[in-house]
Amino acid sequence: MKIAILPGDGIGPEIVAEAVKVLRALALPLEMETAPVGGAAYEAAGHPLPDATLALAQQADAVLFGAVGDWKYDTLPRPLRPEQAILGLRKQLGLFANFRPALCYEQLTHASSLKPELVAGLDILIIRELTGDIYFGQPRGRRAAPDGPFAGAEEAFDTMRYSRPEIERIARVAFEAARQRNRKVTSVDKANVLETFQLWKDVVTEVHRDYPDVELDHMYVDNAAMQLVKAPKKFDVIVTGNMFGDILSDEAAMLTGSIGMLPSASLNERGQGLYEPSHGSAPDIAGKGVANPLATILSAAMMLRYSLKQPEAADRIEAAVQRVLAQGLRTADIASPGCTVVGTAQMGDAVVRALG
């Protein structure tokens, strides 16, 4: 099992080092190779995604990614900015399925803006289609409006598109993921208004025939946004398109209250995936040894579950994180009165000890 380790910028190298420490402690036959990405790669090789880094990612079974970006690169031409590395990797590896779990640990319910009883024990998974929809649909652009009440005025337009195979493959990913969880999928659409999402709903319903052991319901996106704050625990897996998923996954992330705790994954058709924390490179705290490494450690657990097919090892890491929180250890971002505040490396060491 080969893993490409791409630490990136800011706190990336600090938090990835802790995840690597935890992976090594599992004593599995894992081959890990590190390469620069983002601003670090621009400094070293003049490009945020050098050919050698891309080749390593393509050969690996999975990529463990830290974060990229720093304000100092904001004046570079767009193709050379660190963030282009993520877009390049998504495109080159064909990563079309984005997994964003929202998990609220009992000990951290105080960090949520919702009442503790609504979020305690929350465990939902949002699966967002990542390569289609209005973000990429052609044609798009600006022009003089050809018709309508404002004909001749400047207008901008984008095109929302989804094809049957695109919907089928993301629906299958969602049903398969639900089989590893509580066997319930909510497909989120806007079929009452949009043709694109009428096709979405029809195709998801058809694919569901192959998964009779999984429960399926459909929900309009406006209602889904409401239900996520009203009764989030009634969801298990949510599957939706690129734009709705972009918005709902950030909403769900905030239910848990702490960005430093949230892993994510993006997978392609071969099950190869890129695993990264949901947060950015946090240049404001880089190099201080205070960043929370748990989102990256939990991303490594997702990698073991979804790309490397080692669910028991994934369970071990997740249980170790639970144990560390139960022991009262916290990094500064999730600290609360009565807890012991530790740094990045101490948190990584504590997770290793808690693996048992």
16 within 8 A of 66, measured Cβ to Cβ: yes
Catalytic residue (one of 105, 133, 190, 236): 190
Specify whether 115 is catalytic: no
Catalytic residue (one of 135, 184, 202, 220): 135
Specify whether 51 is catalytic: no
Task: Return the number of the residue (50 or 260) whose C-beta is nearest ligand NAD.
Answer: 260
Specify whether 21 is catalytic: no
End-to-end distance of the chain based on CA atoms, in angstroms?
23
Give which of 103, 107, 95 is closest to 132, Cα–Cα: 95
Angle at 177 (CA atoms; ends 104, 18), nearest 5 degrees = 55
Task: Return the number of the residue (214 or 248) whose C-beta is nearest ligand NAD.
Answer: 248
C-alpha–C-alpha distance, residues 110 and 122, integer Å: 13
Q: What is the dihedral of CA 234, 239, 241, 245, to 10 degrees?
A: 50
Task: Return the number of the residue (7 or 167) whose C-beta is nearest ligand NAD.
Answer: 7
Q: Who contacts 317 (Cβ-Cβ below 8 Å, separation ≥6)?
A: 22, 26, 297, 298, 300, 301, 304, 351, 355
Catalytic residue (one of 123, 158, 202, 250): 250
Q: What strand order describes the sheet that includes 123-129?
A: 31-34, 2-8, 62-67, 273-277, 263-267, 97-103, 123-129, 237-240, 184-189, 215-220
Task: Return the number of the residue (1 or 339) whose C-beta is nearest ligand NAD.
Answer: 339
Specify whether 190 is catalytic: yes
Q: Find the binding residues for ligand NAD in span 238-297 (CB under 6 A).
A: 259-260, 276, 279-285, 291-292, 295
Shortest separation between residue 161's beta carbon and ligand NAD, angstroms: 26
C-alpha–C-alpha distance, residues 342 and 353, integer Å: 15
Q: Find the binding residues for ligand NAD in span 60-89 (CB under 6 A).
A: 67-70, 83, 86
Shortest separation between residue 6's beta carbon and ligand NAD, angstroms: 10
Catalytic residue (one of 72, 222, 230, 234): 222
User: By CB under 6 A, how many residues form the interface with ligand NAD?
Assistant: 22
Binding residues for Mg(2+), as ranges, are 222, 246, 250
Shortest separation between residue 356's beta carbon and ligand NAD, angstroms: 25
For residue 202, how many other CB atoms are within 10 A of its CB? Answer: 14
Shortest separation between residue 198's beta carbon and ligand NAD, angstroms: 33
Binding residues for NAD(+), as ranges, are 280-292
Specify whether 246 is catalytic: yes
276: left (phi over 0), alpha (psi -120 to 50) or beta: beta
- Return the residue matching tokens 């652009």: 141
**Positive or negative CA dihedral for 238, 239, 240, 246?**
positive
CA distances from 131 to 128, 188, 353 (A): 9, 17, 40
Contact status: 14 vs ligand NAD (CB under 6 A): no
Contact pattern for ligand NAD over residues 129 through 148, marking x by CB under 6 A: --------------------
Task: Return the number of the residue (94 or 289) whose C-beta is nearest ligand NAD.
Answer: 289
What 3-state DSSP class applies to 222?
A: helix
Binding residues, as ranges, are 90, 100, 128, 222, 246, 250, 280-292
Give me the DSSP letters along 265-307.
EEE-TTS-EEEEESS---GGGTTTT----HHHHHHHHHHHHHT
Shortest separation between residue 10's beta carbon and ligand NAD, angstroms: 6
Shortest separation between residue 251's beta carbon and ligand NAD, angstroms: 16
Note the residues at the interface with ligand NAD (CB under 6 A): 11, 15, 67-70, 83, 86, 259-260, 276, 279-285, 291-292, 295, 333
By annotation, the residues acting in catalysis are 135, 190, 222, 246, 250
